[in-house]
Structure 1
């Protein structure tokens, strides 16, 4: 919440839209409830956006930036591809709110603004993970296959975190051990030590 009189940015509105999306799906991204939540008027919204669709597009770009672009940039600070894979899985499987947003977006994949973004992000994620497996030494086709498995593990974990959290590890240590085992399995047969 902001204090009335504080000028909100387009990013503030997009962040609020993402939070609403994570709580209640695409239908929860509505101008009046968001204005109330932000303690502002609809006029603030119209200062930044022409309509709800423009807000949804801005929120999707913000989600892509945070959940993919920034994650990749952070992972790329490490020169070791195996360490990158381990950090990547530990990072993405640990994102609670991101999971809820991701699931809400997947449920709205037929929306004309959502579908293309999900497709672009899915392709980018698979390509990046394949790049990491390529850096480990796998041939392109095998790197791509392992990337598909890895991204599928992430999506499956995301689904389980929402629908059946009791089946997932209860402690951080157990979660990290599972992630480590997953990456070890994906690296099995890698050309060279890891």
Structure 2
């Protein structure tokens, strides 16, 4: 074993995934390779194989993380309890405030990667369809007609993809200040002060 590995505690799978995440979001999937990752972490490449069979297994783990964090959390927020459509929208908007719920950097990196990977593009298409269904069902739950619900869901999805692709940078406070207006655009009705206060209570 390399003396460099002996000199420090063995890295965890999470350490490798975190380093791979940084490389993926900074430089794209082509930059995510075992030797550069090992150099970044200050260990020999043999340490990598304690956790992953090869680079492809690492990349698959990154895709699973994206699916669970971004699509999984988004769907869960659309299904959370809400008294009205405004509260349901604020539940979903948690994803645009909390990067632990939805990681925009990772979503952009996956979309860029998928342009040159047909298998990943198929997974991305499935994820977008799952998100669309979840948002559509959220509107249906509050009495919107099917076509209307679908159009509103797609409007939200395309807006958010635009935010991500354009890498829009807004302060948390400014983004929250726009949300009542976004809800009015997306739903056709403006949230009450009570709806807004309950949302703000979660986000300071």
Q: What TM-score results when the alignment is normalised by the length of structure 2?
A: 0.76
Whether 1:173 aligns to 2:173 is yes
After TM superposition, give the deviation of residue 25 of structure 1 in Å: 1.0
Q: Aligned match of 2:159 in 134, 153, 158?
A: 153
Task: Quote the Cα distance in structure 1 between the aligned partners of 2:22 and 2:34.
Answer: 13
Structure 2: runs of 5+ lacking an equivalent: 1-6, 196-204
Note the C-alpha offset of 1:33.
Answer: 1.6
Moved more, 63-72 or 138-147: 63-72
Larger mean CA deviation between 82-91 and 120-129 belongs to 82-91
1:144 equivalent in structure 2: 150
Give 1:16's match in structure 2, choosing from 16, 19, 23: 19
Deviations along 1:24-45, whole A, 9 cap, x unmatched? Answer: 1111211112122233332232
Tell me: CA distance 1:93–1:155, structure 2 relative to 1, closer, same or farther (3 Å).
farther
Moved more, 171-180 or 86-95: 86-95
Report the Cα distance in structure 1 between the residues aligned to 2:77 and 2:187, rounded to whole angstroms: 21
- Paired residue total: 183
Does the 8 A contact of 1:86 with 1:180 survive in 2?
no
State TM-score, norm by structure 1.
0.79
Separation of aligned partners in 2, 1:113 and 1:44: 29
Cα gap change, 1:116 to 1:99, in 2 (>3 Å): same
SS at match of 1:161: coil
Shift of 1:61: 0.4
> Contact 1:90–1:176 (CA<8 Å) still a contact in 2?
no
Q: CA deviation at 1:79?
A: 3.3
- Greater relative contact order (Cα < 8 A, sep 6+): 1
| Rg larger for | 2
Residues 69, 103 of structure 2: 8 Å contact kept = no
Distance 1:143 1:68, change over 3 A: same
Q: Answer with 53-62 or 76-85: which moved more.
A: 76-85
> Where does residue 82 of structure 1 map in the other structure?
86
1:186 maps to what in 2?
186
Which of 78, 92, 95 is the equivalent residue of 2:96? 92
**Equivalent-residue separation in structure 2 for 1:78 and 1:105 (angstroms):** 30
* Residue of structure 2 in register with 1:48 after alignment: 51
CA distance in 1, matches of 2:119, 2:60: 7
